[in-house]
Amino acid sequence: MEQKRILEKAKAYRDYTAENLSKIIQVPGFSRTEKERVLLLKRLCEEAGMEDIRIDGLGSLLGRIGAKGGKKLVFDAHIDTVGVGDPAQWKLPPHSGLVKDGLVHGRGASDQLGGAASMITAARILKDLAYKGGYEVWFSFTAIEEDCDGLCWKYLIEEEKFVPDFVVSTEPTSCRLYRGHRGRMEIQIEIRGVSCHGSAPERGESAAYKAARAALAIEKLNTELKPDDDNFLGKGTITVSQIKVHGPSQCAVPDQAMLYCDRRLTWGEDDKLAIAQVERALEAAGVDKFKVFMPEYAEPAYTGLVYKQELYFPTWKIPADHFFVRSGVDAYKGLFAAEPVVDKWTFSTNGVAICGRHKIPVIGFGPGDESQAHAPNEITRVDDLEKCAAFYAALPYAMEARS
């Protein structure tokens, strides 16, 4: 019975959801500059009937529906976006928020403001239904994810002691049900050489040539990385994303080099393993006088708070037969009379902190496509927004039925 009412309300609120997404897109909110977007979202949450609305020290917004005292079920959307890139590649202004022909246009439409808009509608539906079930249903609109995924949740859990029992990431999944993704880390390699005049390079040790050998060693290492045991997440990867070489002048052999690497981590891989692999690869390639380390993130939020963490984002997944995954399947089947596709993300999400660091179960279900993330002419489908709003409202009922 609830499922039918939820579907009816999600359909009735279809335009409301799309219009809210349009409003959110029209207020730019890049990482660490999200204040005005957060204030808009706060007003929308108030209008939807949320309670206990507050903004935390790092600038994330929280609101609740349902009676207090039960386990915390949280729906999470990061509300910062990447920049727009080359404006000439956009057919419409990047922050137009145009709603036309069943699509919403603009930066963040899929990654991942669509999830935020559907969450607000789900809260309104639960309020309309006077939800008083066994869960505190929370909605988090989190900051700084694009700069440092999971930092917002590391702060919420460790500093504000806001600890959920279950979390739904509303990152784009094309309305599929996701249960994990590879982790990642950033690795910096610093290499020293010995400078000399460029007219007699044999007198020095070129950091540029060492960097070239190091880059080829990283390329080879990438081919040697293995998938996880059940091949659900796939193989780890490593790639060189930056190379910088410095010396005393343009007429000198360079004595300093830096390589920056993006490392994706499959199940069973961690930061210590990844750094040791790089060290061995460089040694095998004949590179000497190097240091391999993991940099740290230390940038101020729009609130002014600087909250630091190493650039390590642990791998996570939960089993296909986990209570939370099965509840998600139940909610989907009950609403749409079909089996959901259960899969994983290719990119990274706040799940790296929630489940990767803190072992809190996470599933993913969101509007839009992962392929739209960070691309020009970003869109999401209004059909997805409606479907996700219904799923979010139905999930606590499905969890109670399975408990």
Could you tell me if 135 and 393 are in contact, meaning their C-beta atoms sit under 8 angstroms apart?
A: no
**Catalytic, out of 56, 76, 80, 330:** 80
Helix (H, G, I), strand (E, B) or coil at 130: coil
Number of H helices, E strands in the chain: 10, 20
* Tokens, residue 235: 């193989």
Could you tell me if 155 and 57 are in contact, meaning their C-beta atoms sit under 8 angstroms apart?
A: yes
10 Å CB burial of residue 344 (0-12, 13-18, 19+) is: middle
Cα–Cα distance, 314 to 204 (Å, whole number): 41
Question: Element (H or E) spanning 385, and its range?
Answer: helix 382-402
Question: Element (H or E) spanning 246, and its range?
Answer: strand 237-246
Q: Measuring CA to CA, which residue among 1, 2, 6 is closest to residue 389?
A: 6
145 assigned to active site? yes
Buried b (16+ CB within 10 A) or exposed e, 94-126: bbbbbbeeeebbbbbbbbbbbbbbbbbbbbbbb
For the chain, the straight-line distance linking the first and the last C-alpha, in angstroms and rounded, comes to: 19
Cα–Cα distance, 245 to 115 (Å, whole number): 42
The contacts of residue 340 (CB under 8 Å, 6+ apart) are: 175, 176, 177, 328, 329, 332, 333
299 assigned to active site? no
**Catalytic, out of 145, 146, 370, 378:** 145
- Would you name the residues annotated as active-site residues? 80, 145
